[in-house]
Amino acid sequence: MKKTLIFGAMAAAGLAAGAVSAGTMDDVKARGTLKCGSNEGLAGFAAPDANGVWNGFDVSLCRAIAAAVLGDPQAVEFVPLTSQTRFTALAAGEVDVLIRNSTWTYSRDTDLKLDFKGVNYYDGQGFMVQKSLGVSSAKELDGATVCIQTGTTTELNLADFFRVNNISYEPVPVATNAEGQQQYLAGACDVYTTDISGLAATRATFENPGDHVILPEVVSKEPLGPVVRHGDNEWGDIVGWTLNLLIAAEELGITSANVAELAAAPTANPEVNRILGTEGELGAMMGLDKDWAVRVISAVGNYGEVFERNIGEATPVGLARGLNAQWTNGGLLYAPPFR
Amino acid sequence: MAAMSAPPREAFRLSQLLYDARYRSLTIQVIASILIMLLLVELVNNTVTNLAALGKDISFGFLWTTAGYDINQQIIPFTSQDTHARAALVGILNTLVVAVLGCILATIIGVLVGVLRLSKNWLVSRLMGVYVEAMRNTPLLIWILIVFAVMTEATPQPREFREGGSASMILWDSVAISNRGVYIPRPVWGEGSGLVVAVFLLSVIGIFFLRAYARRRQEATGDQLPVLWMSLGLFFLPALLAFFALGRPIGLELPELGGFNFTGGIQVRNSFIALWLALSLYTSAFIAENVRGGILAISKGQTEASFALGLRPNRTMQLVILPQALRVIIPPLISQYLNLTKNSSLAIAVGYMDVRSTLGGITINQTGRELEGMLLLGIFYLITSLIISSFMNLYNSNVKLKER
């Protein structure tokens, strides 16, 4: 009986592990769709609209990769994953790439055998409380009840923050952002904590967003980025350089509006020419054709366009560029050269 | 011909393994077990190879590293600096608490509903029928979520209990029902409280002796003692006397609103209440059916015979029907207890920190040791179930038909 159980578990793991042997790029091409692990629903980052079409900041990166590899930004199958299941799903080959507000940490990169291929959003953990509580600093939260998504880095940061400041709290673990939102609004917890971008996105969906404040403390560094399985370097290159392309395109002034015009004939800027395939063979080096960048930019636009369209200050989420501005504007976005 | 005059005890030939009915089954069993072994070896080998290909080894060292997360309901002290193993232990204790309390409440409700369903009162029996069918035929997870939603949405927030708020505490300001849980008074053990507890335990043991004595006396002389009243008296009086004689050493710490939450008292969290109630209500429906089946299994003749001997209905139930019905009820009751214990792993749905949420949830997630964590989890549930069923089997052998 006991043996059966052990072997059953091993069999399950064995079968799951067996599925990820071939190169991910070949799998994606053979399947004709990209399986993108995404959030179960976080406004502005990844959420289906009224027609069931997924939209958002993270979703755009999935679509960009699909446009690069398959030529069709719509050829993406979005697999909603909870914070608990995401890495297991990726490791088991259920998704090709995980773009789900996942923080790049040492242990995930090494021990979990995952590869983070860059940062698409520089975030930090914050706290949201109701304005009527009259709290102005996270250090005043002694004894508060805190809703926290279980299985996240924020769970560990939270424990550290309260321990270091020598104040107590009561954690209320929730499985998803939606559940956390419901608990917080029902008043079952005083504080909701997650990445500040997530707090802003959640607050944007509230009936009265003005009744809630995000406290000034940023208690952690949360570089969020796309994740692939360790060891499949060709696929990792494609994911990483698609992200770099979006960032470089903004820096070089390539937009969805002017990309066709810039790609029609070589321009005065050699890097633009190399990216858009009018000079050199950069696409072939990754196993793609030379128009891959044109397809990506015309499908989703550059990083700045993606940001402004989904989470920028004109949207309900209303995030400022902050750290996520180009390095030329005092931000941290810095794509390596396309050469 | 040599073959025809062969002696009856001829030498063993290899072909007999296939053609001789005496050996054939043995051959088939040996071949089948070799095939099963090969399959298992292949599975283990495949797992290990594939894990190695993913760069993952199998190691339980993660259990001794720092957990880094906090757990709200702790029966033993736990901080984020303790190990994953201790986090697992905290989770195990939380699982056991909800399982034990769930089994007790499910049994009480189940027996009540099962007996009432046999009531001659049409309304009562139909109502119980509706209860059983509604509980049995909907998924447990739905009941957990319903109870949880009611507890969080329909109860007031702690701040409503402030001056001028719309909520107030009940039972002489000792119990507060809020959307974060029910806050109840906590006993404060002062000096001499150990003596009171000791007196209480002694009187409980005394009740058992009293009952044994009453039975012997009745068998010898036919006189009946008022056992119920004497037991009740023994239960309360000595402990109360000791309590007041020692100057009321056991006090109560009432919950008080301070800061964001109530402080003092014991917080019974909503997640616990939701899980406990839903598990009990759900399982009680199955137990009710077991009880009803057990009672119906005793033939009407038993009742009639007992009436003919002059026993009153409640004595008939107590002395004739129930002892026989228990034999039918106990074995399926064991599997209901096991079900309840295993179903408690749905705790994650409401954020109750049982072993599935700590070891099987956060720990796995923070360390990436899915296979190891799930193996440990499986072994824990297996061992727990085996212990429960062995205890229940012990009880079952106590009540089952004694063949003399």
CATH number for the domain harbouring residue B301: 1.10.3720.10
Provide the mean pLDDT of chain A.
88
* Cross-chain residue pair A145–B260, CB shorter than 8 Å: yes
In a domain, B150, yes or no: yes
If contacts are CB pairs under 8 Å, which of residues 261-290 in chain B contact chain A? 261, 263, 270-271
Domains of chain A, earliest start first: 21-122+224-324 (3.40.190.10), 125-220 (3.40.190.10)
B40 located within any domain: no
Contacts of B72 in chain A (CB under 8 A): 170-173
CB contacts under 8 A, B 370-399 vs A, are 370-371, 374-375, 378-379, 382
Structural domain including B112 reads: 97-157+283-352+384-404
**B152 in contact with A, Cβ within 8 Å:** yes
Chain B CB contacts of A228 under 8 Å are none
> Cβ of B327 under 8 Å from any chain A Cβ?
no
Tell whether the model's pLDDT for residue B103 goes beyond 90.
yes
CA distance B354 to B357: 5
Nearest CB to B353; choose among A162, A173, A189: A173
Phi/psi of residue A84, each to 5°?
Answer: -80, -35
Task: Tell me the chain B residues in contact with residue A4 when contact means C-beta distances shorter than 8 Å.
Answer: none
A155–B362 C-beta distance less than 8 A: yes
- The pLDDT tens digits of the residues spanning B2-11 come to 455 555 666 7
ipTM over 0.85 threshold: no
The pLDDT of residue B382 is 94
Q: Hey, is A185 helix, strand or coil? A: helix
Contact across the interface for A84 and B365, Cβ inside 8 Å: yes
B42 part of a folded domain: no
**Inside any domain, residue B84:** no
Let me know if residue B303 belongs to a domain. Answer: yes
Gap between the Cα atoms of A271 and A265, Å rounded: 13
pLDDT grade, residue B285 (50/70/90)? very high
Nearest 5°: CA angle at A332, between A329 and A337?
90
> Per the domain annotation, does B239 fall within a domain?
no
Q: Which tokens belong to B62?
A: 């993660």
Say yes or no: B61 contacts chain A, CB-CB below 8 A.
no
B324, containing H or E segment: helix B322-343
Give the confidence band of B306 by pLDDT, cuts at 50, 70, 90: very high
Q: What SS3 state is found at B184?
A: strand
CB nearest A5 (choices: B349, B368, B382): B382
**B60 in a domain, yes or no?**
no
Nearest to A9 among B50, B81, B374 (CB): B374
- Put simply, the answer to whether A143 touches B263 (Cβ < 8 Å) is yes
How far apart are the CA of B331 and the nearest CA of chain A, in angstroms?
A: 20
Of A11, A107, A171, the CB nearest to B70: A171
**A273-291: per-residue pLDDT in tens?**
999 999 888 999 999 998 9
Please answer yes or no on whether A13 and B157 come within 8 Å at the CB atom. no
How many domains is chain B built from? 1
Q: Cα-flanking dihedrals φ and ψ of residue B328, to 5°?
A: -85, -30
Distance of alpha carbon A129 from alpha carbon A134, whole angstroms: 9
Q: What is the pLDDT along chain A (339 residues), one digit of tens a residue?
A: 444 444 444 445 444 444 444 589 999 999 999 999 999 888 889 999 889 899 999 999 999 999 999 999 999 999 999 887 888 899 888 999 999 989 998 988 888 889 999 999 999 999 999 888 888 888 888 888 899 988 788 888 899 899 999 988 888 888 888 888 888 988 888 899 998 888 988 888 888 888 898 888 888 888 999 999 988 899 999 999 999 999 999 999 999 999 999 999 888 999 999 999 998 889 999 999 989 999 999 999 999 999 999 999 898 888 889 889 999 999 999 999 998
Whether residue A160 and residue B80 make contact (CB cut-off 8 A), yes or no, is yes
